[in-house]
Amino acid sequence: MITRAQLHQQNLKKIFYPDSVAIVGANKVAGTVPCDILMNILKADFNGIVFPVSPKEKFIAGVKAYKYVVDIQDEVDLAILVFPSSVCHMALEQCGQKGIKSAIIISAGFKEVGKDGLVLENQIKEIAVRYDMSFIGPNCLGVINTDPQSKINASFARRMPDEGSIAFLSQSGALCTAVLDYAYAKHIGFSKFISFGNKADISEIDLLYYLKDDPKTKVILMYLEEVTDGVALMEAAGKIITETRKPILILKAGRTSAGASAAASHTGSLAGSDEICDAAFRQAGIIRCENIEEMFNKAIAFAYQPIPKNNRVAIITNAGGPGVLTTDAVIRQGLHLAKLSEETTAILKKSLPKTANTNNPVDVIGDARADRYNIAMSAAFKDDNVDGVFVILTPQSMTDIDLIAREVAKVSSHYDKPVFTSFMGEADVAVGIDVLQRNKIPHYILPESMAVAFSTVYNFSQSVNHRTFNPIDIEETARVKANRILDSAISTGQKYLTENEATQILDFYGLPVIENGLAQSADEAVSLAVRFGFPIVMKVMSKDIVHKFDVGGVVLNIQSEQEARNAYMAIIENVHRKLPSAKIDGVMVRKMISVGEEVILGAKRDPSFGSVVMFGLGGIFVEVFKDVAFRIPPIGESVAKSMVESIKGYPLLSGVRGSNPRDVAGIVQCIRRLSQLVTDCPQIRELDINPLIVLDEGKGVFVADAKIML
């Protein structure tokens, strides 16, 4: 039985490569969507047959029109629906009857307008399922395929873009038109251009999988307003990147929208929806962009140039200042200025004026013309110490801008190393920029952007490796026992587990909890204290108390039997006084671990990504600096390790200024086990282990406190 996702992959072929298209709801009125879409298809020289379907017209633009799609005798591969939303279901029903499996629904007036629109949207979804159809939209600009085999412009964009190797998908149709115009001005072409609108049927996930296998697509760009299924998105991205090495760049809107919950837990207050999204994208290898310009700056680097084998850059410039700026940017991006070989330096010294700088950056000086650029570039490209070349130009009176641009295109074409350019200025350099763009040489207004783009490509190439995930070994009984406690708590209306219950669950999953006991009298407390050994910690256990410190329910550093007795009685008295309604289950007694680094581990359920795990150093690092890292389960060994190493405070764990390294391996294991716990137990809404005490390397880690919210 074929799944809906598999069906979409089949039907998407006819969306992008139809032999015949019916525009259902077409008309003759120029300037309207139903007319302009038909005209776009005809103007783009579509490689197939077009059937306008119009209730009123017998012909449109010289092409025979049909009253109903069922009147068309020939097979129709793709239907483009441009009727008003109120009758789209009727049109789609007829398409289904005709045996059409693929559709693009351009019409607006569905879910995005509210309840009434949602009803209409559900109607068309039901029809699509019934007829094994797939559709893109509704409420979209349409779809463009520049492949000469198809050349379909099934959209109401102003123009057909140039052919290229970049695929662009967008949830916003209006943004699509702006992007098309922007790209056209820069001679950036597309392989596929897709506005997916309300994604009522085919989603961005389906489109990603299609593009994974599209030989015309080298780079995938996406604009997203919401992440509906974050886990599926991460999985798709992971597969695409691992199997095809196609980079995925996403511009996701809504960075500043609220998402962090009220401070029920540290994790809850820190894990806003955008932080989670950020972490998830990074974990999946998705490159997140802040704006359209950045997205395309990086996209053209991927699409037009070979991947650098290493990160050593040669800078060729006719101006010292920009050369320095670029050098700063190179270093800031973690790249290296290539150390030119003696042979290269000798060539440059021999061929360039004495005033030229023959070290890197190579300054061919202000009066340089194309010949000097040729010499410098050729020498740099030939140098084995150089992995990529940056070419900077400032327009002096004698600078032959377009010739230099042609020289860049000519010289670089002989080498399998990337070249990036920055012809600084706007008016005079425009002619050169045009040459570069037409020759698919990445050009950037600011020289620093060359460094950003290069480092993005280089880092991506280094990070692409086959990610294997080995699940941690957890006994089945652990899952059963943990779920039993959680389900029981939920059934009694508990919002929080007691620390005792929480630590039990952590213990089932192999997280190292400090041995503890529950005392219900002062004598029991003393007896436990003696058993565990001083110093001791005591904490009140009550389903009615979340913040134990606030009610005087915690005593630390108890050093003797008498102190233990006094502490027990003080705790009981404090709670009775401050929260008389609280039902006390007892006082937890455990050994106090006073050495070690305090870290925080946490987890939170997320509507898009399922759950998220957080790690950070404790205390001020999390409270003030918010120096935390997030990852999405399942979390394997390497991801857990990278999570720990990614925080700014990591040197405190790895050993700094002569201090011993801490048990990072222990933290990594805890992260993995926590990841498995929250995957197995979706009842857990939020979880804090704060602190997890980390001793010296090899000496272990211990859960000192835990909260679980349901």
Q: Which of 6, 10, 86, 242 binds other proteins (CB under 8 A)?
A: 86
Concatenated DSSP letters of 545-560: -S-TGGGT-EEEEE-S
Q: How many Å is the Cα radius of gyration of the chain?
A: 32
Contact flag: residue 61 with other proteins (CB under 8 A): no
CB of 69 to other proteins, least distance (A): 11
- Token pair listed for 389: 């070349």
By the rule CB under 8 A, 72 interacts with other proteins: no
- Out of 42, 72, 90, 113, the residue judged to bind other proteins by CB under 8 A: 90
Report, in Å, the least distance between residue 201 CB and other proteins: 21
Q: Does 55 bind other proteins (CB under 8 A)?
A: yes
Fill in the amino acid letter for 201. D
56 touches other proteins (CB under 8 A): yes
Go through 535-564 and write b for each residue having 16 or more CB atoms within 10 A of its CB, e for each that does not. Answer: bbbbbbbbbbbeebeebbbbbeebeeeebb
Position among 39, 63, 70, 87 found at the interface with other proteins (CB under 8 A)? 87
CB-wise, 103 or 567, nearer to other proteins? 103
CB-count burial class (<10 Å; 0-12, 13-18, 19+) for 244: middle
In whole angstroms, how close is the CB of 56 to other proteins at the nearest point?
Answer: 4
91 scored as a contact of other proteins (CB under 8 A): yes
Considering Cα of 340, then 342, then 348, then 353, what sign does the dihedral take? positive
Q: Which of 83, 304, 373, 621 binds other proteins (CB under 8 A)?
A: 83
Does 54 participate in binding other proteins (rule CB under 8 A)? yes
Place of tokens 């990591």: 650
Q: Which is nearer to other proteins, 89 or 672 (CB)?
A: 89
Among the residue ranges 51-59, 249-257, 267-275, 610-618, the one whose residues contact other proteins (CB under 8 A):
51-59
> Smallest distance from the beta carbon of 83 to other proteins, in angstroms?
7
CA-CA distance, 446 to 427, in Å (whole number)?
15
Bridge-based pairing state of the strands 597-606 and 610-617: antiparallel
Nearest approach, Cβ of 148 to other proteins (angstroms)? 35
464: left (phi over 0), alpha (psi -120 to 50) or beta: beta
Residue 308 has what DSSP assignment? P
**Cα dihedral angle (488, 490, 496, 498), rounded to 10 degrees?**
-10
Which residue, 89 or 543, has its beta carbon nearer to other proteins? Answer: 89
Give me the residues paired with residue 224 across strands: 252
Tokens of 34: 């139903």
Residue 425 CA from chain centroid, whole number: 33
* Closer residue to other proteins in complex, CB, 57/400: 57
Distance CA 415, CA 411 (A): 8
Shortest spacing between CB 115 and other proteins, in angstroms:
14
Smallest separation, CB 54 to other proteins (Å): 6
Q: Which is nearer to other proteins, 34 or 432 (CB)?
A: 34
Binding to other proteins by residue 260, rule CB under 8 A? no
Shortest Cβ 68–other proteins spacing (Å): 8
Q: How far is the CB of 79 from other proteins (least distance, A)?
A: 14
Of residues 13-42, those binding other proteins (CB under 8 A): 27, 29, 32
- Tokens 């201090």 locate to 659
- Residue 107 C-beta: closest distance to other proteins, Å: 11
Q: How many residues bind other proteins (CB under 8 A)?
A: 13
| Nearer to other proteins among residue 53 and residue 405 (C-beta) | 53
Q: Return phi, psi of residue 487, to 5°.
A: -65, -35
Closer Cβ to other proteins, 32 or 660, answer by number: 32
Q: Which stretch binds other proteins (CB under 8 A): 84-92, 139-147, 151-159, 242-250?
A: 84-92
DSSP state of 70: G
Whole-number Å distance between alpha carbons of 505 and 194: 47
- Which tokens sit at 116? 């009434």
Say whether residue 84 binds other proteins (CB under 8 A). Answer: yes
Q: Which residues bind other proteins (CB under 8 A)?
A: 27, 29, 32, 54-57, 83-84, 86-87, 90-91
